[in-house]
Amino acid sequence: MDPKLGETQMSGLKKPTDPQPIQMLFEFRTKGVANARATTAVKPRVEAELAKSGLFSAVSAEPVASGRKLAISIDNVEPEGQRAGQKGFATGLTLGLDGNTISDDYVCTFTYLEPGHEPVTQEVRHTLYTTIGITNPPKGLTPAPLADAFATVIRQAVDKGLAEIDQASDIAQ
């Protein structure tokens, strides 16, 4: 994964003294289109990060009494000019001798809604690189199994989004 985003120090959040429950609305998208299978697979990871943050007393899919909501979407967008399918096809034709590096770009949008306040929206971008065939990964990246790298990308993006929402809103009050 791209090291630019890195780890967010969750200890620096303005944690409320009396955390309140939050309704989480989550959707995973692929190129802007809802992806139900990925939503089902990724949602528990996102819920776990919200719960672990200490910003909320509970995370619910149902409305909460305070009316607070946190809408999160993670969109796996194809970088401009990159055609992953074509690259993979070329690699296959050469039996992996013509290797490629494919990047999956993720645009993560966080919108915090609290009755009586303006919505607060933050966007976090992250990238996951995958090598196919015989090729070297981009410089400065540490290889990891795909499942581990994907889990790290999701965790880092959610933690960064929570930190930015925490700084830009009254979530801690």
Q: For residue 140, which of 153, 129, 132, 151 has the smallest C-alpha distance?
A: 129
Residues present in the chain in total? 173
* Mean pLDDT score across all residues of the chain: 85
Q: How many domains does the chain have?
A: 1
> Which pair of tokens denotes residue 66?
């305070």
What range defines the domain where residue 161 resides?
21-81+106-125+145-168
Compute CA distances 67 → 23, 24, 64, 82, whole Å.
Answer: 8, 11, 5, 41
Is 50 a domain residue? yes
pLDDT at 126 over 90: yes
Does 12 fall in a domain? no
- pLDDT at position 1, please? 66
Q: What is the pLDDT of residues 83-121, one digit of tens each?
A: 544 554 444 444 445 677 888 899 999 999 999 999 999
The predicted-structure confidence for 44-64, as pLDDT tens digits, reads as follows 999 999 999 999 999 999 999
In this structure, is residue 1 part of a structural domain? no
DSSP state of 76: E
Question: pLDDT at position 134, please?
Answer: 77
Residue 3 lies in a domain: no
**Confidence (pTM):** 0.84
Q: Are 91 and 130 in contact (CB under 8 A)?
A: no
Specify if 46 maps to a domain.
yes
Does residue 95 lie within any of the structural domains? Answer: no
What's the rounded Cα separation, in Å, for the pair 104 and 90? Answer: 18
The CATH number that applies at residue 161 is: 3.30.160
Structural domain includes residue 93: no
Looking at residue 4, its pLDDT comes to 83
Structural domain includes residue 116: yes
- What integer pLDDT is reported at residue 6 of this predicted model? 84
How far apart (Å, rounded) are the C-alpha atoms in residues 83 and 27?
24
